[in-house]
Amino acid sequence: MIIPANQLQRAIDIYLEHAYAGVAIPTPVLERAAAIRSLPADTSVAEDLLEPHPGNCGAAYAVRLGQPLYPHMKLVIEPVPGNTSQAFLFRTDAHDRHLHAPPGSPDAQWLAAIRASNQALVDKIESAWALVGLPTFKEFLRQQLAQRRNKT
């Protein structure tokens, strides 16, 4: 998969701007993003700068950028479903669906709050990506639905 450095750099910048609004970005996050952010804009991102990410669409990659309340959130780069070309999509993975807590416990309340915070942040980041024209999974789905409606 060919990932233009300028697009991933922009996606990282937007992610960090929203995830860490008003707070310092942790040094490990800055270090994780530094190699990608320092690439010449007109090059491709080498896959060894990314973390493999299990996905439904074949080979996917991630950059674990976190957020202040939940350090496991990731920026995911995945191939366009059903596309054999080098096209890709950005997605934010909250990485919180595997967590469970007994109903009614204090942990359940905490987990519900974290999930709500994560989802709000996912929506902000992905909306900001779409506004600047970065390819997102949600925009891909919208386009697919629009094409199906136009065929009928």
- pTM, full prediction: 0.87
Q: List the chain domain ranges.
A: 5-151
- Give me the tens of pLDDT residue by residue for the chain, a chain 152 residues long: 789 999 999 999 999 999 999 999 999 999 999 999 999 999 999 989 998 887 655 688 999 999 998 888 999 999 888 765 658 999 999 866 666 777 888 888 888 888 888 899 999 999 999 999 999 988 888 888 888 888 86
Q: Specify the DSSP element, H or E, that contains 86.
A: none
Q: What is the pLDDT of residue 148?
A: 81
Closest CA to 114 of 76, 75, 73: 73
Q: What is the CA radius of gyration of the chain?
A: 16
